[in-house]
Amino acid sequence: MEIKVGVIGTGAIGREHIKRLNGKVQGAVVTAISDIDVAGATKLANEMNATFFKTGEELIASEEVDVVLVTSWDPTHEQYVLESIKQGKYVFCEKPLATDSDGCRRIVEAELAAGKQLVQVGFMRRYDRGYIELKEAIESKKFGEALMLHCAHRNPSADSNYTTPMAISNTAIHEIDVLRWLLEEDYDTVQMILPKKTKNTHEKLHDPQLLIFQTKSGVTIDLEVFVNCRFGYDIKCDVVCETGEIGLVDPVYTKIKSEGKNYTQVSPDWQTRFIEAYDYEFQLWIDSIRRGVIDGPSAWDGYVASITMVACHDSRESGEKVKIEIEERPDMYN
């Protein structure tokens, strides 16, 4: 029997995930959708033979829905995740889990009260072949201990609703999760630096931004977030070890020779850059639901990311290095 998925939020990534769940992922079918854009979502529901629900809460409660996928705007995530937990349904929530650490904490508390892991967060980089290979190399200690990481998260452009804090809450949140997963340790401190501003930004966005993390064991990470870089979607992670360096390469399958040049292209967007990671992420999510054991990025991981994010905001305000304090992880997440 296919697992019936209800999707809340049918914008860019919602539609991508619907296509993937219906077309690529084995064992799942999207049966219900909801969006505040009633006209657009009703049209989509008709095209794909799914039921449109006026509110996310009605969708979550429906018998037509076994599990929930939340792909609406960031500030709406918490309410739908909490409602899914209340209804005892598995829920996949795109990042961020909630817009602040109090919201993430409420979700962790609700899940602990439910006594079962129901939530998975959309930190898809853990499913990217490049990051998986980096993790294997670090764990094997083939090149000795990891000492420093040089990372960048670049987007071609950001719209006028994208503000300075979103460089962390909406963008760097991916690295905040994947780098602690890669190194298997938490951060100790963070310091933010605001470099010279590009002319291609607007008043409410300081772009680029630079973050320097120190992990508990002393690994130093520099992370550039530059969301108006203009040249493409560019993700860098170079791990400097004692006797070698391992780094991500852009997944390219062709090269171009033309007009005296020989080159490869930069990925244009997140859809292209991480397409295989998203496919793998969703197949494993559906498989884990069948087994009844969620083993992807948890609500706890979403919470830790949010605490780290708050420390980044504090450091941007003060210019100082800020300590990142995280409580002991509850047993359910060990």
Task: Give the whole-angstrom CA distance, residue 195 versus residue 17.
Answer: 36
CB 45 within 8 A of CB 35: no
Using CB under 6 A as the binding rule, whether residue 171 contacts ligand ISE is answered as yes
Task: Give the whole-angstrom CA distance, residue 226 versus residue 292.
Answer: 39
* Among positions 53, 213, 270, 285, the unique one binding ligand ISE when judged by CB under 6 A: 270
Contact code string over 104-133 relative to ligand ISE, x by CB under 6 A: ------------------------------
* Among positions 8, 32, 33, 104, the unique one binding ligand NAD when judged by CB under 6 A: 8
Nearest CB to ligand NAD, comparing residues 31 and 215: 31
Torsion region of 279: left, alpha or beta (phi above 0 gives left; psi -120 to 50 gives alpha): alpha
Q: Which span sits near ligand NAD by CB under 6 A: 42-50, 66-74, 84-92, 212-220?
A: 66-74
DSSP string, 224-287: EEETT-SS--EEEEEEEESS-EEE--------EEETTEEE-PPP-SHHHHTHHHHHHHHHHHHH
For residue 259, the minimal CB distance to ligand ISE (Å) is 31
If DSSP codes are grouped into helix, strand and coil, which group holds residue 42?
helix
Q: Which span sits near ligand ISE by CB under 6 A: 18-26, 166-174, 276-284, 308-316?
A: 166-174
Partner interacting with residue 135 (select from ligand NAD, ligand ISE, none; CB below 5-8 Å by kind) = none
Q: Which span sits near ligand ISE by CB under 6 A: 62-70, 168-176, 183-191, 195-203?
A: 168-176
Residue, CB closest to ligand ISE: 171
Nearest CB to ligand ISE, comparing residues 111 and 175: 175
Which residue's structure tokens are 């090149």? 143
Contact code string over 10-29 relative to ligand NAD, x by CB under 6 A: xxxxx---------------
If DSSP codes are grouped into helix, strand and coil, which group holds residue 107?
helix
If DSSP codes are grouped into helix, strand and coil, which group holds residue 109?
helix
If DSSP codes are grouped into helix, strand and coil, which group holds residue 31?
strand
Residues of this chain that interact with ligand ISE (CB under 6 A) are 155, 170-171, 174, 227, 270
